[in-house]
């Protein structure tokens, strides 16, 4: 998207232990502190163990951005062997900052200067030497280079110093002082350099006094949970969801919540449903492999009509797959996983603020519909940082529960058939509301053995239909050109940021184009989707899986053809790929010989 | 399958660029690597005064777009300082401790601005003009309508002086033996040329020697130059244009003959069979004069680079002075130098 003012993407590449992620964290926090929008994503080695290549990418902009950019404006190498494959990501006349000294002989071509393209601007400095001179140690190289970058680009230094001081606040003062000295030494070196790049720093935007908060998707989930008054959390660690339980383990006791790390995912979901049965706002979080283990208990939640919240952060699969890489291939599992006809609610936020809102609303939705709610995200969204400008009003706090009212002598029917298909829910301990809850099919009282399976199945499904009209929840939203368009792009989850960026670029290229995000994936908001399809000559569905799981879901539900764009490249969906496909489809829309789109599973 | 011949070129100026282009034109398969201290790909240094005419984007000065190098498979390695050349083993060492092997080496490292011995202690107070970055720094530091005190006044300096006058600045020229370098002129030959400069508005100080440069802290103008007779000249910027000193320090272990520059035969080959040199860095044997001579000026330098490249690929061409040294006053009353008059 062409933005006015500041729109810079920084990338810092190094080895685990170089402070790569830490320096990226300082950049994003310093930028957010002065009022810029930030979107950032860190890439770790494919193994969870702590070694190998790390890259921190940070997009800083005056206007809201929706994804990382294809090209980096300022690239920092803290380790040439890792950085060299990524130098090509730097745009023409962008900056490449690197250490121009080596402590040991290096083989021909192993220095980054051998890979900087003629249109890129090299900025070499003796990073290690400056660090050693400033701090008597080389370990502050990552801070030196931040100072250099700030000096080079004439960025305000105070926010950097403040963030550095805050980052090392738990360390002795000498550590803080050393890092400030390292930053200042780099700053001085950078200020002396004549800039040849054309990176436009622009001016700090005015947000009208609203204070930015920087969060990851997982952090936003936690904040949403806490504001919603989460009372119980049961979890088992798994990448990329672990940081949710880590944060909750710290925060929940402060507000009287119960946190338990269970022995596995089966226990976690069982305990969550048990707590939900008892009336506690309960949640768990996992990833695809964990969700696979949880599906039996999710079925219990559906059958027993017990509210619970399950966050699923997808990663590359199947099996152990690619634990530190992103993918959107657990949609089928989230929507359909388990035995029987076990429809549940699945909502998929598309950005960090969406994570906050979906997590905050998930408990109330689960309680309203008395069923499990899955908040489906992925590693890219879990670990992605964005600045959020939240309202100070907590809209997620629990509302007073309405205890069912019974006439004198009337038996309490926990699963009563009602007009809305939602039965009055009592909790254990409510006077006169003793009832049975079971995974067996049951009658209105909850007793197994003599239930009307057909009617109960219908009740469990039809009660969810109105979820697509849930107050305050955006289940789907259209962006871009209104009315009839040549190309519609339909997306879900983290990929929608890239879809929006591609849509803006397509519009800039003169293509009639709209995009729609689907947040509620089960049940599908078919009315909104159908209206979108009606307006689009062609609908493209980009997603990070091989099978086109969402495309299958939508085309199956609507009976409409879609064009699929599937990538399993372990990285976010390239904007360029979406844009290229949009352009191809737009060209075909103009052509008398249109290539038909495909419809249905496997077609 | 044999490895392609690896040609390494040190320097990316007129000679180096001309050599690289010639090498590629004559051999589609060879490997070409250029090393340069510059951050900017090849541009004509003589264009730098244009900065004062508003051409302050370095991309406007490039001789070819950056994509040229990739299109012609020329590895351009910028910000690389060659620390040492091992002529016996055909390897160069870079200051960041990378070693690069070559089959044939061409040295076109040019020269750096020469500063008279008595002024070397004032280097930080003297603005440079040897690179785009230095020229831009001068441009930024010079206030509108400000004055440059120019020491020496070689042909690059004269060109800048005339541009400065055209664009509203003042120039005070303190002449010395390097004035009009690389033309070697006696006092009588210089006199009419200096008159031209005076007529254009240059304040010319002859028979004076700058001995001290001082910063006037907080004052304006920012610099004060003291002459050997005690007189003081004030200006906003002090610049020295006293010719070039060849950049050969990294060749000391290359097993080649060096005098003031690298000594080469008329085929531009050094005393090492795999090392050639071209441009301001080399002195070429002049058979009739029985002496090694420098041949400055961008036209000569470009010819040298191209010729050296052909000889590296097996030719046996002799450098024949392309442009005879000549300076005078044209019909329009302007100074005309065969070395420095702009052309194609």
Cβ atoms B13, B279 nearer than 8 A: yes
Q: Are residues B260 and B216 in the same domain?
A: no
Q: Does A196 touch chain B (CB under 8 A)?
A: yes
| Residue-by-residue DSSP string for A419-485 | SSSPPP---TT-TT------SS-B-TTS-BTS--HHHHHHHHHHTTGGGGG-TT---EEEEES-SSE
d(CA A97, nearest CA chain B) in Å: 11
Q: Does B227 touch chain A (CB under 8 A)?
A: no
Q: Are residues A369 and A316 in the same domain?
A: yes
Residue B343 — pLDDT band, cuts 50, 70, 90? very low
In a domain, B344, yes or no: no
Q: Which region among A100-104, A119-123, B214-218, B331-335 has the lowest average model confidence (pLDDT)?
A: B214-218
Chain B hits for A108, Cβ within 8 Å: 98-101
In a domain, A111, yes or no: yes
In a domain, A157, yes or no: yes
Q: Is the pLDDT of residue A597 over 70?
A: no
Q: Does B133 touch chain A (CB under 8 A)?
A: yes
Please calculate the CA angle A391-A155-A88 and round it to the nearest 5 degrees: 95
Per the listing, tokens 């205890």 go with: A403
Report the pLDDT value the prediction gives residue A467, as an integer from 0 to 100. 96
Strands (E), A322-448: 345-347, 372-378, 385-388
Q: Which residue, of A458, A473, A488, is where some domain finishes?
A: A473
- B234-293 residues touching A, CB cutoff 8 A: none
Q: Are residues A154 and A244 in the same domain?
A: no
Q: Are residues A318 and A449 in the same domain?
A: yes
In a domain, A197, yes or no: no
Report the pLDDT value the prediction gives residue A394, as an integer from 0 to 100. 78
CB contact under 8 A, A113 and B78: yes
Q: Are residues A185 and A226 in the same domain?
A: no
CA A95 vs CA A68, A91, A199, A325, B90: distances in Å: 17, 8, 8, 27, 33
Instruction: Output the domain CATH number for residue A402.
Output: 3.40.50.970
Question: Tokens at residue A183, please?
Answer: 């930053």
Indicate the length of chain A as a whole number: 603
Q: Are residues A312 and A421 in the same domain?
A: yes
Q: Are residues B171 and B199 in the same domain?
A: yes
Q: Are residues A469 and A480 in the same domain?
A: no
Q: What is the mean pLDDT of chain B?
A: 92
Q: Are residues A236 and A335 in the same domain?
A: yes
Q: Are residues A267 and A378 in the same domain?
A: yes
Q: Is the pLDDT of residue B54 over 80?
A: yes
Residue A601 — pLDDT band, cuts 50, 70, 90? very low
Residue B322 — pLDDT band, cuts 50, 70, 90? low
Report the pLDDT value the prediction gives residue A402, as an integer from 0 to 100. 86
Instruction: Output the domain CATH number for residue B209.
Output: 3.50.50.60
Q: Are residues B13 and B63 in the same domain?
A: yes
Q: Are residues B62 and B132 in the same domain?
A: no
Question: Tokens at residue B315, please?
Answer: 């030719």
CB contact under 8 A, B99 and A108: yes
Percentage above 70 pLDDT, chain A: 95
Helix B298-312 / helix B14-26 crossing angle, nearest 10 deg: 30
CA neighbor of B297 nearest in space, from B142, B191, B166, B159? B159
Report the pLDDT value the prediction gives residue A450, as an integer from 0 to 100. 74
Please enumerate in sequence order all residues whose Cβ is within 8 A of that of B47, keeping only pairs 6 or more positions apart, or say none. B55, B61
Q: Are residues B121 and B237 in the same domain?
A: yes
Q: Does B59 touch chain A (CB under 8 A)?
A: yes
Q: Are residues B229 and B81 in the same domain?
A: no
Alpha-carbon distance of A129 to A131, in angstroms, equals: 5
In a domain, B328, yes or no: no
In a domain, B51, yes or no: yes
Instruction: Output the domain CATH number for residue A496.
Output: 3.40.50.920
Q: Are residues B92 and B154 in the same domain?
A: no
Q: What is the mean pLDDT of chain A?
A: 93
Report the run of H or E that residue A294 belongs to, with start and end.
Answer: helix A288-304
CA atoms within 13 A on the CB side of A314: 30
Q: Are residues A524 and A451 in the same domain?
A: no
Q: Which residue of chain B comes nearest to A194, CA vs CA?
A: B133
In a domain, B43, yes or no: yes
Percentage above 90 pLDDT, chain A: 84
Q: Are residues A178 and A126 in the same domain?
A: yes
Which residue of B6, B95, B96 to mutate against A (max A Cβ within 10 Å)? B96
d(CA A114, nearest CA chain B) in Å: 6
CB contact under 8 A, A111 and B58: no
In a domain, A297, yes or no: yes
Q: Does B96 touch chain A (CB under 8 A)?
A: yes
Q: Are residues B22 and B55 in the same domain?
A: yes
Q: Are residues B148 and B217 in the same domain?
A: yes
In a domain, A454, yes or no: yes
In a domain, B162, yes or no: yes
In a domain, A595, yes or no: no
Q: What does the DSSP 8-state code read for residue A113?
A: G
Give chain A's domain count.
Answer: 3
Residue A50 — pLDDT band, cuts 50, 70, 90? low
Q: Are residues A291 and A415 in the same domain?
A: yes
Per-residue pLDDT of A519-529, as tens digits, reads 999 999 999 99
Q: Is the pLDDT of residue B266 over 70?
A: yes
CB contact under 8 A, A194 and B95: no
Question: Tokens at residue B116, please?
Answer: 């008279």
In a domain, B333, yes or no: no
Q: Are residues B57 and B27 in the same domain?
A: yes
Phi, psi of B194 (to 5 degrees): -65, -35
Q: Are residues B103 and B250 in the same domain?
A: yes
In a domain, A200, yes or no: no
Report the pLDDT value the prediction gives residue A210, as an integer from 0 to 100. 64
Per-residue pLDDT of B12-30, as tens digits, reads 999 999 999 999 999 999 9
Q: Does A534 touch chain B (CB under 8 A)?
A: no
Residue A592 — pLDDT band, cuts 50, 70, 90? low
Q: Which residue of chain B comes nearest to A125, CA vs CA?
A: B79
Which residue of B42, B64, B73, B98 to mutate against A (max A Cβ within 10 Å)? B98
Q: Are residues A386 and A529 in the same domain?
A: no
Q: Are residues B105 and B206 in the same domain?
A: no
Least CB–CB distance from A194: residue in B41, B78, B133? B133
Phi, psi of A373 (to 5 degrees): -120, 125
In a domain, B321, yes or no: no
pTM confidence score: 0.89
- Domain of residue A489 covers 476-590
Q: Does B151 touch chain A (CB under 8 A)?
A: no
Per-residue pLDDT of B67-87, as tens digits, reads 999 999 999 999 999 999 999
Per-residue pLDDT of A458-479, as tens digits, reads 999 999 999 999 999 999 999 9
In a domain, A34, yes or no: yes
In a domain, B11, yes or no: yes
| Residue-by-residue DSSP string for B230-259 | S-EEEESEEEEE--EEE--GGGTTS---BS
Could you tell me which residues are beta bridge partners of residue B84?
B93
- Domain of residue B69 covers 6-112+245-312
Give chain B's domain count.
Answer: 2
CB contact under 8 A, B98 and A105: yes
Percentage above 90 pLDDT, chain B: 75
């Amino acid at each position: 998207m062409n933005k006015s003012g500041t729109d810079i993407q920084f990338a810092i590449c190094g080895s685990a232990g170089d402070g790569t992620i830490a320096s990226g964290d300082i950049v994003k926090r310093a930028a957010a502190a002065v009022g810029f929008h930030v979107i950032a994503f860190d890439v770790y080695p494919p193994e969870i163990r702590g070694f190998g290549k790390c890259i921190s990418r940070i997009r800083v902009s005056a206007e809201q951005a929706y994804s990382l950019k294809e090209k980096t404006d300022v690239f920092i190498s803290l380790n040439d062997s890792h950085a060299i494959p990524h130098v090509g990501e730097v745009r023409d006349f962008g900056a490449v900052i690197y250490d121009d000294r080596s402590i040991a002989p290096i083989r021909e071509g192993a220095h980054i200067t051998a890979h900087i393209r003629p249109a890129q601007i090299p900025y070499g400095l003796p990073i290690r030497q400056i660090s050693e001179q400033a701090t008597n140690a080389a370990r502050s190289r990552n801070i030196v280079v931040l100072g250099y970058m700030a000096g080079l680009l004439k960025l305000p230094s105070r926010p950097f110093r403040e963030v550095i001081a805050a980052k090392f606040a738990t360390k002795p003062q000498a550590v803080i002082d050393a890092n400030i000295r390292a930053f200042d030494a780099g700053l001085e070196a950078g200020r002396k350099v004549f800039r040849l790049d054309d990176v436009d720093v622009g001016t700090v935007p005015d947000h009208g006094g609203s204070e930015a908060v920087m969060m990851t998707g997982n952090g936003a989930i936690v904040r949403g949970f806490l504001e919603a008054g989460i009372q119980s959390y049961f979890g088992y660690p798994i990448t990329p969801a672990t940081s949710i339980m880590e944060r909750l383990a710290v925060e929940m006791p402060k507000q009287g919540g119960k946190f338990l790390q269970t022995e596995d995912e089966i226990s976690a979901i069982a305990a969550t449903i048990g707590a939900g049965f008892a009336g506690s706002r309960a949640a768990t979080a996992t990833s695809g492999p964990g969700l696979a283990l949880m599906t039996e208990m999710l079925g219990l939640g559906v059958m027993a009509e017990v509210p619970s919240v399950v966050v699923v952060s997808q990663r590359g699969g199947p099996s152990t797959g690619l634990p530190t890489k992103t993918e959107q291939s657990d949609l089928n599992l989230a929507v359909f996983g388990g035995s029987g006809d076990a429809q549940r609610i699945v909502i998929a936020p598309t950005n960090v603020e969406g994570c906050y809102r979906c997590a905050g609303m998930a408990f109330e939705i689960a309680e309203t519909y008395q069923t499990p709610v899955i908040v489906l995200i992925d590693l890219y969204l879990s670990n992605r940082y964005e600045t959020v400008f939240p309202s100070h009003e907590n809209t997620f706090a629990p509302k007073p529960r309405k205890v069912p009212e019974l006439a004198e002598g009337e038996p309490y029917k926990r699963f009563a058939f009602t007009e809305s298909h939602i039965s009055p829910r009592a909790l254990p301990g409510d006077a006169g509301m003793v009832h049975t809850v079971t995974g067996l099919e049951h009658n209105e009282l909850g007793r197994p053995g003599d239930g009307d399976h057909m009617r109960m199945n219908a009740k469990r499904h039809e009660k969810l239909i109105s979820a697509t009209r849930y107050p305050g929840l955006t289940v789907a939203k259209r962006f871009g050109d209104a009315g009839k368009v040549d190309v519609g792009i339909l997306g879900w989850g983290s990929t929608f940021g890239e879809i929006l960026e591609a849509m803006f670029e397509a519009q800039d290229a003169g293509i009639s184009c709209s995009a729609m995000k689907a947040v509620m994936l089960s049940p599908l908001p078919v009315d909104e989707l159908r209206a979108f399809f009606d307006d689009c000559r062609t609908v493209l569905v980009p997603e990070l899986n091989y099978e086109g799981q969402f495309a299958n879901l939508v085309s199956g539900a609507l009976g409409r053809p879609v064009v699929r764009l599937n990538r399993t490249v372990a990285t976010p969906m390239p904007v360029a790929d979406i844009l290229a496909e949009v352009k191809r489809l737009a060209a075909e829309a103009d052509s008398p010989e249109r290539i038909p789109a495909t419809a249905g599973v496997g077609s | 399958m044999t490895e392609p011949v690896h040609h390494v070129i040190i320097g990316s100026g007129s000679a180096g660029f001309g050599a690289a282009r010639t090498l590629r034109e004559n051999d589609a398969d060879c490997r070409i690597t250029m090393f340069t201290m510059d951050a900017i790909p090849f541009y004509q240094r003589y264009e730098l005064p244009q900065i004062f005419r508003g051409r302050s984007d370095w991309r406007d000065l490039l001789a070819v777009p950056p994509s040229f190098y990739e299109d012609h498979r020329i590895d351009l390695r910028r910000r690389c300082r060659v620390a040492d050349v091992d002529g016996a083993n055909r390897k160069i060492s870079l200051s960041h401790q990378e070693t690069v092997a070559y089959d044939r080496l061409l040295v076109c490292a040019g020269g750096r601005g020469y500063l008279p011995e008595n002024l070397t202690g004032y280097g930080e107070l003297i603005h440079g003009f040897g690179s785009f970055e230095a020229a831009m720094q001068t441009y930024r530091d010079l206030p509108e309508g400000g004055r440059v005190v120019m020491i020496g006044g070689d042909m690059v300096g004269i060109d800048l002086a005339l541009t400065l006058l055209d664009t509203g600045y003042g120039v005070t020229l303190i002449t010395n033996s390097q004035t009009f370098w690389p033309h070697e002129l006696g006092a009588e030959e210089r006199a009419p040329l200096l008159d031209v400069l005076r007529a254009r508005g240059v304040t010319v100080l002859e028979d004076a020697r700058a001995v001290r440069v001082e910063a006037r802290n907080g004052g304006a103008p920012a610099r004060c130059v003291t002459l050997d007779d005690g007189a003081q000249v004030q200006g906003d910027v002090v610049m020295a244009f006293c010719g070039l000193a060849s950049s050969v320090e990294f060749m000391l272990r290359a097993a080649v003959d060096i005098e003031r520059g690298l000594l080469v035969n008329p085929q531009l080959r050094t005393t090492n069979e795999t090392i050639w040199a071209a441009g301001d860095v080399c002195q070429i044997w002049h058979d009739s004069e029985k002496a090694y001579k420098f041949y400055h000026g961008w036209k000569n330098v470009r010819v040298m680079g191209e010729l050296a490249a052909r000889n590296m690929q097996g030719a046996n061409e002799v450098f024949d002075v392309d442009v005879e040294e000549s300076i005078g006053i044209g019909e329009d009353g302007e100074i005309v130098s065969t070395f420095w008059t702009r052309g194609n």
